Structure 1
Amino acid sequence: MTQSSDCKMPDIMNTEGGDERRVGIEIELSGLGYDALVKLVARCLDTEPKLDSRYVTKLATDLGDFTIELDSDPIKDLDLADQRLPDSIRELGGQAMEVIDAAAERIVPLEIISPPVPFSHVTRVEALMETLREEGALGSREAIYYAFGLQLNPELPDLEPNTLVRYFQAFAVLYDWLKSRHQLDISRKFTTYIEPWSSKYVELLMKDDYNPDQAQLMRDYLDSNPTRNRALDLLPLFAHLDDELLSEYVVDPRIKSRPTLHYRLPDCDIDNPSWHFSSVWNDWVVLEQIAGNASHLAELRALYRESGKINLHNLTHSWLETTTEWLESRGYV
């Protein structure tokens, strides 16, 4: 599989324990049948597929196990050959499942879920995405009922509250810029999975003296955002930090504990020749670099607070324009 070298790397590549940071990647797409997708990804990753259950396949690689599945639990779990069903239904099971399969592959996304990939190896995901496009994979723009995403789950350098605050602040000030670059299709704007954090929470987060401990950090967020449905979903991280505290606000079996952020804003626009995984990744690296640069982060936060005031600049410039100009002036883009 040909590798790309377009993926940039952040300055902080290792965790506080010295291990290289990793990122889990989730890719939703259509345009290929399930079996065809499995065979294609297996060939790209130079491995053999192993069917775990209907519509769930594992592919063992040197990076760990990739998973390919149909992103719909009811269809994955459906079994019309179940012995508990009446004979009349089971006799029709094979034909019925063929119809269901054909329909599902048209309107339900297929999903590729990576293992935690070392940052230095994300170029392999870029190469996989390019191959998928060449073979006919489709993304969100293909039809109004497609709302496919590309989700990143980057491991944090450490889990200290002041580190988390910096990442949260960097995301909050860059949200409009990131959305303008990676929210491409109107279909996903009808979903609730890409909502920004509440303005009340962002206002608190932007204060110069905001210095909470872990419990207060979690409560401040959860008081205004007790939901998975955010463009940067913090609930998996909070489940890892303090599941008992999280359960005071949200109980949802879909929340998976992990020491990562869950960035779910970008569309998967894989059939667009000018769209690349590296573009999404490199914009996340911009956030990484700003989170690690105290003076630049302070500048952006000050500009954000200033943007809420009534003055000539704010009357003639949107926050998106201000952010873009600042990023260009500092050499980030």
Structure 2
Amino acid sequence: MTHAPTEPATLPIPDDADGAPRRVGVEVELGGLTESQVVHIGADLFGGEIDQTGAYTYTLRDSAIGDVEVMLDTAFRDHAGGALAKAGLDVGRAVIPVEFVTEPLLPQTLGDIDRFCDALAEAGATGTQDGMLLGFGMHLNIAAAGRRAEDILPVLRAFALAEDGLRARTPIDPSRRLLPFVDPYPPRLLDALAAPDSADWDAGQMIDAYLHHAPSRNYALDMLPLFRDLDSDRVTAAIKGSESIKPRPAYHYRLPDARVDDPDWSVSGEWATWCEIEALAAQPDAVERLAAAWRRYRDRLVPIPGRWSGLSAEILAEEEVLQ
């Protein structure tokens, strides 16, 4: 099984404010293989040295794609110390997620991650669609183009207003609907982001609106690591326990499906969707058209549930931003 080869998409703003290429870290969850199998397949593809750093954790060091961490899903790893627990892990390998995590990569190297996924699938790795309980996801950590509100706010507004249209285009696997992090942004956040003056917010106003309306990590675009990097005190004062959120100057884009054994799915394809979101953010007229449509939708006496996904998808198609 081989994913269709594609040249990774290009960001509309490929460099950060210092002129360095923007990078993306990749996290992919899968089933059917052990951590040892995954890391050895990585070494066969990319070279490097394998370092076992714990009972269920490995690091592939100095490979052709840099360092790659491979580990049992944290929720299971933290409770896998006893003999009985280990026996349960062996029985449940098909449904217990193993994940690999790359260092920040240049986008043009994402084809190598697709090759890695292909090799894992050939060895028996499974993805979300193989069963109702296989809730495997993928995360992209995309370096922000800058640290100013004018760098970040357009992307947040574009994503929030386009999210339902994106979900209509690529329905979420039913198994992921049972899990919390696939929740869409709440309507009250969209109300704030679609307000006529929201495009002119400063960083404090942007962060405050997010913390007030969406103080959680359980969304497809988790802004809290980036906001902690921008203004840590503001975030920790607003959200109890947020000290554990690692500050990072990057968008945390949480994809609800990782279908490593599906030939129609690829990391490069999901990356292309993110590039489309940033392309939309770079077209303020299109974003404002979405914002105005959202305000009209919310002004209805009784907004029709589900209608916004169709309305937003129509606008995105007409604007020819998302393919």
TM-score by length of 1: 0.86
- Residue of structure 1 in register with 2:295 after alignment: 305
Of 198, 216, 223, 2:205 maps to 216
Q: Deviations over 1:134-167 (max 9, x none)?
A: 3321111212221110111111101111222101
Does residue 126 (structure 1) correspond to residue 127 (structure 2)? The answer is no
CA contact (8 A) 1:4 1:124 kept: no
SS at 1:247 equivalent = helix
Cα distance, 1:229–1:243 mapped onto 2, change above 3 Å: same
Give how far 1:98 is off.
Answer: 5.0
What amino acid sits opposite 1:164 in the alignment? I
SS at 1:179 equivalent = helix
Could you say what the CA RMSD is over the residues aligned between the two structures, in angstroms?
A: 2.6
- Residue of structure 2 in register with 1:67 after alignment: 69
- Residue of structure 1 in register with 2:313 after alignment: 324
Of 269, 279, 302, 2:259 maps to 269
* Distance across 1 between alignment mates of 2:124 and 2:76: 26
* Distance across 2 between alignment mates of 1:98 and 1:249: 39
- Residue of structure 1 in register with 2:96 after alignment: 108
- Residue of structure 2 in register with 1:90 after alignment: none
Give how far 1:243 is off.
Answer: 1.4
Aligned pairs (5 A) from 1:79-118 = 79-80=81-82, 93=83, 96=84, 99-118=87-106
SS at 1:105 equivalent = coil
CA contact (8 A) 2:4 2:264 kept: no
* Distance across 2 between alignment mates of 1:104 and 1:97: 10
Give how far 1:181 is off.
Answer: 4.0
Does residue 156 (structure 1) correspond to residue 144 (structure 2)? The answer is yes
Cα distance, 1:124–1:265 mapped onto 2, change above 3 Å: same
Aligned pairs (5 A) from 1:29-48 = 29-48=30-49
SS at 2:29 equivalent = strand
Give how far 1:111 is off.
Answer: 0.3
Does residue 237 (structure 1) correspond to residue 226 (structure 2)? The answer is yes
* Distance across 2 between alignment mates of 1:18 and 1:260: 16
Cα distance, 1:148–1:157 mapped onto 2, change above 3 Å: same
Cα distance, 1:98–1:160 mapped onto 2, change above 3 Å: closer
* Distance across 2 between alignment mates of 1:45 and 1:292: 36
- Residue of structure 2 in register with 1:83 after alignment: none
* Distance across 1 between alignment mates of 2:86 and 2:15: 47
Aligned pairs (5 A) from 1:126-275 = 126-210=114-198, 211-250=200-239, 251-252=241-242, 254-275=244-265
* Distance across 2 between alignment mates of 1:270 and 1:209: 42
SS at 1:208 equivalent = coil
CA contact (8 A) 1:266 1:280 kept: no
Cα distance, 1:267–1:254 mapped onto 2, change above 3 Å: farther
**Number of corresponding residues:** 317
* Distance across 2 between alignment mates of 1:208 and 1:244: 28
SS at 1:256 equivalent = coil
Give how far 1:322 is off.
Answer: 2.8
Cα distance, 1:130–1:306 mapped onto 2, change above 3 Å: farther
Give how far 1:266 is off.
Answer: 3.0
Give how far 1:170 is off.
Answer: 0.5
CA contact (8 A) 1:182 1:265 kept: no
Give how far 1:62 is off.
Answer: 4.4
Name structure 2 gaps, 5 residues minimum: none
Cα distance, 1:281–1:73 mapped onto 2, change above 3 Å: same
Cα distance, 1:49–1:178 mapped onto 2, change above 3 Å: farther
CA contact (8 A) 1:15 1:158 kept: yes
Cα distance, 1:222–1:199 mapped onto 2, change above 3 Å: same
Which stretch of the first structure deviates more once superposed, 7-16 or 272-281? Answer: 272-281
CA contact (8 A) 1:28 1:111 kept: yes
CA contact (8 A) 1:3 1:124 kept: no
Q: Deviations over 1:44-97 (max 9, x none)?
A: 2222311111111111224431100001355357445xxxxxxxxxxxx5xx46
* Distance across 2 between alignment mates of 1:176 and 1:2: 27
Between structure 1 and structure 2, the one with the greater Rg is 1
* Distance across 2 between alignment mates of 1:253 and 1:230: 19
Name structure 1 gaps, 5 residues minimum: 81-92
* Distance across 1 between alignment mates of 2:295 and 2:228: 31
Identity of aligned residues (%): 27
SS at 2:314 equivalent = helix
- Residue of structure 2 in register with 1:88 after alignment: none
